[in-house]
Structure 1
Amino acid sequence: MDLEHNKSNAKYEKKKFNTLIKVLLIFGLLFLALVGYGFYWAFFDMNRLPTGEYLTEEISPNGKYTIEAYVTNGGATTAYSVRGELVFNDKDNKTKNIYWNYREDSADISWRDNNTVIINGHTLDVRRDKFDFRNQ
């Protein structure tokens, strides 16, 4: 009878250990995901770019979009950067950053068609593309 009790106790302990391992694994993966997102948010999220000083703007041929360009000065130890902001003229002027390039202090913007813009030689479809020098 004592042998059966020991086997039962061993199975219970093994099951308890396996559950503990699973819980630790899940929490570990959640922690890594949180740290990864935090790293992305802190260093690569285009919504956190500095505002900068207004340079120029160009309206799309159909008037649906406007690209506004801003230059940012990172201080004495970094070069100027250009930020391109897409303005949705027909959606209460909502905006999103679609262009960010380092070592630039001017913006040459031209529209190829209603949805394609060229900013300093980089061609972007404003419906889905972004250019960020940090991801190149």
Structure 2
Amino acid sequence: MTANSTIKGARRKKIIKIVLIIGFLFIGFIGYGVYWAFFDMKKLPTGEYLTEETSPDGTYTLKAYVSSPSLSADAVRGELVFNEQKVKTKNIYWNYRESTAKIEWLDNKTVVINGHTLEVPKEKFDFRNQ
């Protein structure tokens, strides 16, 4: 093996590594873009206010809104409000083909929204991920 062929082999490996890295970055950006555009709960439509219920200890309030897009069925969005902390509200519920919201707190951290039980603030329900 000559020194020239060794240099060409090293260059080829370097080029392959660079192409693979760029390919993985491109796939990552595309994947994040799809998530951001179609599955990010921060981008849900605001909707019209329906109702709200506060947790028994007053720590959280769950507000429900209905969104009525012109070309599809209604959807309900549940927004968790942190009453005692300076934290932004968080969308924890999004369900398609609903126009009402029945909210019931089982305890200080467990809420049932239209039959879906969630432990707040960590859990959420999004029909698109079911």
| TM-score of the pair, normalised by structure 2 | 0.97
**1 CA distance for matches of 2:3 and 2:86?**
68
In structure 2, give the amino acid aligned to 1:89.
Answer: N
1:128 shift after superposition: 1.3
2:28 paired residue number: 33
Identity of aligned residues (%): 59
**Structure 2 residue 44 is matched with structure 1 residue 49:** yes
1:96 paired residue number: 90
1:105 paired residue number: 99
1:80 paired residue number: 74
**2 CA distance for matches of 1:49 and 1:127?**
18
In structure 1, give the amino acid aligned to 2:66.
Answer: V
**Structure 2 residue 4 is matched with structure 1 residue 19:** no
**1 CA distance for matches of 2:124 and 2:100?**
18
- Cα distance change, pair 36–28 in 1 and its aligned pair in 2 (3 A): same
**1 CA distance for matches of 2:120 and 2:83?**
13
Give the SS at the match of 2:79.
Answer: strand
**1 CA distance for matches of 2:13 and 2:105?**
60
Give the SS at the match of 1:94.
Answer: coil
Q: CA RMSD in A?
A: 1.0
| TM-score of the pair, normalised by structure 1 | 0.93
- Cα distance change, pair 11–93 in 1 and its aligned pair in 2 (3 A): closer
Q: Runs of 4+ in structure 1 displaced over 4 angstroms?
A: none
Give the alignment of 1:112-127 within 5 angstroms.
Answer: 112-127=106-121
1:94 shift after superposition: 2.3
**2 CA distance for matches of 1:67 and 1:93?**
14
Which has the greater radius of gyration?
Answer: 1
Give the SS at the match of 2:89.
Answer: strand
The C-alpha deviation readout for 1:76-110, integer Å capped at 9, x for no partner, is x2000000000000113620000000000000000
2:4 paired residue number: 9
The C-alpha deviation readout for 1:45-75, integer Å capped at 9, x for no partner, is 0000000000000000000000000000111
Q: Give 5+ residue unaligned stretches, structure 1.
A: none
Q: Give 5+ residue unaligned stretches, structure 2.
A: none
1:66 paired residue number: 61
